[in-house]
Structure 1
Amino acid sequence: MEVEASEMEVEQQQQQPVQNSQSSTKAFGLKNSIQTNFGDDYVFQIVPRDDWTSMAVSLSTNAVKLYSPMTGQYLGECKGHSSTINHICFSGASNQHVLHSCSSDGTIRAWDTRNFQQVSCITAGSSQEVFSFSFGGSDDNLLAAGCQSQILFWDWRNRKQVSCLEESHVDDVTQVHFVPGHQNKLASASADGLICIFDTNGDINDDDHLESVINVGTSIAKIGFLGDFSEKLWCLSNIETLSVWNWNEGTNEANFEDARSLASESWTLDHVDYFVDCHSSGGENLWVIGGTNGGSLGYFPVKYKGEAVIGPPEAVLGGGHMGVVRSILPTSNMQSGPAQSRGIFGWTGGEDGRLCCWMSDDSPEISRSWITSALAKKSPRTRKNCRHQPY
């Protein structure tokens, strides 16, 4: 088994904290730092298994590595893709050991994480790239995939393609998501600036099953859902704008065209250069997670009702990364369990090839949580600071 480099960095020294003018801001200490490789490879995405016994990490080596989120222990590697891995996720509680991945090599693969072997492969076509996928449908039998201006559907039980939508988007379909609680509804987002909502009941086609279209106006990077009934969605664009929509009604709740400036003005650290993701802990609460090219992160609360406001960061993570952060796995997604009992706030991964585990400042394992560059292992190379564009 491959040996991974790991440093357990429980803070022993009382460093001087970086001051923030907002007393409500929490600082988080670096607990565990893992070097995922020894080259110039990126961490793309981190996702947890349903029971949180492992987490999968996609890398720019076209491989997926698995680790324990509790200890950082390296568990194994899934290799088989021949091009960039664009999206990974575990199956649900009924099949927790199966991991799925899609790639620019035109395939969606399933892996048995008990032995790290491939167990199935669905091909979208040799000339296709698969950017995103989602499982759902009224009978929970559909696999949808976002490709180059097309949305493909398979019955995942027999791996037969059942539909191809090719008239709704004119550019790469960067995101597809079956809506939580509305499993027959599929939301797709594209570099053409459109979000489309489809009803996937029956024989799916562009003419009869496209219910509504939201025009964001610029290339879309990520979307996600919030609200008690997942009736709203947030949208991050590739030019770092943020918007909130009611997808059911097709109405705009808020536009943050200057989101980076608003976030930057609310803390005393460097300018926010990019957004990594958004986070909703249930209900209508929303945070946008901004980062600097130097690797610092802030969790900024988003108020989108009435006056649109991005508030001061409620959490700051610094001193772990030396470059752009690409993915965040907050353990607040887990209601209870070992991670919370150990005070683990979450994991991050970035273009410096590192995974960092962050401890909450009331954790019994550390006496104080400072933001300090002294906790980070210096990279032997100078890595580029520009944000990687996967499309």
Structure 2
Amino acid sequence: METAMDVEEQHHSPNPNNAKCFGLKNSIQTNFGDDYVFQIVPKDDWSTMAVSLSTNAVKLYSPEAGQYYGECIGHSATINQILFSGPSNPNLLCSCSSDSTIRAWDTRTFQQVSSINAGSSQEVFSFSIGGTSGNLIAAGCKSQILFWDWRNKKQIACLGDSHVDDVTQVHFVPDEQGKLISASVDGLICTFDTTGDINDDDHLESVINMGTSIAKVGIFGQSYQKLWCLTHIETLGIWNWKDGKNEVDFSDARTSASESWNLDHVDYFVDCHYSREAEKLWVIGGTNAGTLGYFPVNYKGVATIGTVEAILEGGHTSVIRSVLPMSKIHTAPTYGPTQGIFGWTGGEDGRLCCWLSDDSSETNHSWISSTLIMRPQKTRMKNRHHPY
């Protein structure tokens, strides 16, 4: 059952700095009990967003109003990643799971239309659709990367020598769809050429060693040559994946972020977000109590995590698992009915929260007082969250 509520905003004194606290439009309780929200992803035209839950279901909502559309049910174990397949198949949602499958769903009927099985002994932790033809599916599994042709569901390759532990991330490189980047619990980031007959010996191009288990990576930069990497011990690294050069290594990222606001200690990082227009990268950190901050990352010159620029507070009561930015501040589309919405968040409290930009006429302005972004004299340590 879906429940939603409007939240009355508190007024704060105007903030002389640039940090903003965004107004909470509504909060949807996706389920009753202890269910988690894992991930939120948008359809290309932003008419729909898909939300994966710890119930092994995917629910679909309107990003504009939070209206519930329906759910896709079929996975029998944890859903590890979801994504819409792209403009060529706008109504196709894909998901991968620890039940060994990658499934495709028609979001108009909420029915499964296709499925790939990686084998009974496998778990599929991540997947990506790309390749030079656009029909290649790469899946990160237990120390292996498997490849299928999306058109006939035939497995065409298995890379089993490059990683020695769970492959947590696979990404085809935007603008270079023949390149695949993988990351693993073994601490390695590998780059592969996926053209021709794919194998470890001839198609592994480079290896980067982060030195610790990798949770999430993202490809960014004007020519997509850079890579950000978040680890399971909450460190952050910035690399040039083309030449294997480490540009920034924040081994104390949480401490640096915690010193950049006057709220509770940053306990974990949810994600990073990059603006191509502004050429700017943010690391998104949260507290166990459910407050979120966007911290700018300076990876040119002196490496720093700067003063928080946006705070999302008062919507969640527990760890936040996913952030879907939508406002022009973070370069996602603001046209049409979603204009004025900063974004959505989902967490371990089972809630989806919609945040409105402070220039929206739909809610009261909500600003941070300057005391919230000053370095705290004392921060309170909490147990770190283990997302993986």
Q: TM-score range by the shorter chain?
A: over 0.9
1:252 corresponds in structure 2 to: 246
SS at match of 1:158: coil
Give 1:133's aligned residue: 127
* 2-structure distance, mates of 1:339, 1:179: 31
The residue type equivalent to 1:8 in the other structure is: D
Structure 2 residue aligned with 1:376: none
Q: CA deviation at 1:370?
A: 5.2
* Residue equivalent to 2:235: 241
Match of 1:295 in 2: 290
- Give a deviation string over 1:317-349, Cα, whole Å, max 9, x none: 0000000000000004533423552x1000000
Give the Cα–Cα distance (whole angstroms) in 1 for the partners of residues 301 and 338 of structure 2: 34
Residue number in structure 1 paired with 2:166: 172
Whether 1:355 and 2:349 are equivalent positions in the alignment is no
Q: Could you tell me which residue of structure 2 aligns to residue 310 of structure 1? A: 305
Query: Structure 2: which amino acid aligns with 1:281?
Result: S
Aligned-residue identity in percent: 70
Is the CA contact (8 Å cut-off) linking 1:70 and 1:338 kept in structure 2?
no
CA contact (8 A) 1:296 1:319 kept: yes
The letter of the residue matching 1:299 is Y
Q: Secondary structure at the match of 1:208?
A: helix
2:97 pairs with 99, 103, 121, which one?
Answer: 103
Residues 1:8 and 2:6 are matched in the alignment: yes
User: What secondary structure, in the 3-state scheme, does the structure 1 residue paired with 2:88 have?
Assistant: helix
* 1:145 counterpart SS class: strand
Any conservation in 2 of the 1:318–1:371 contact (CA below 8 Å)? no
SS of aligned partner of 2:198 = coil
Q: Is the 8 A contact 1:289 1:300 kept in 2?
A: yes
- The residue type paired with residue 110 of structure 1 is A
1:58 and 1:88 in contact (8 A); partners too: yes
Instruction: Give me the CA root mean square deviation.
Output: 1.7
Count of residues in Structure 1 that have an aligned counterpart in Structure 2: 372
Opposite residue 247 of structure 1, the aligned amino acid is W
Question: What amino acid is aligned across from residue 385 of structure 2 in structure 1?
Answer: R
Maintained 8 Å contact 1:26/1:316: yes
Within a 5 Å distance, the mapping from 1:207-218 to structure 2 comes to: 207-218=201-212
The change in CA–CA distance for 1:318 and 1:27 in structure 2 (over 3 A counts) is same
**In structure 2, C-alpha distance between the alignment counterparts of 1:10 and 1:92, rounded to whole Å:** 37
Structure 1 residue ranges without an equivalent (≥5): 373-383
- 346 and 86 in structure 1: CA distance in 2 versus 1, 3 angstrom threshold: same
Contact persistence 2:11–2:365 (CA under 8 A): no
Larger deviation: 248-257 or 22-31? 22-31
Task: Report the counterpart of residue 92 of structure 1 in structure 2.
Answer: 86
Alignment check: 8 A CA contact 1:57 1:66 kept: yes
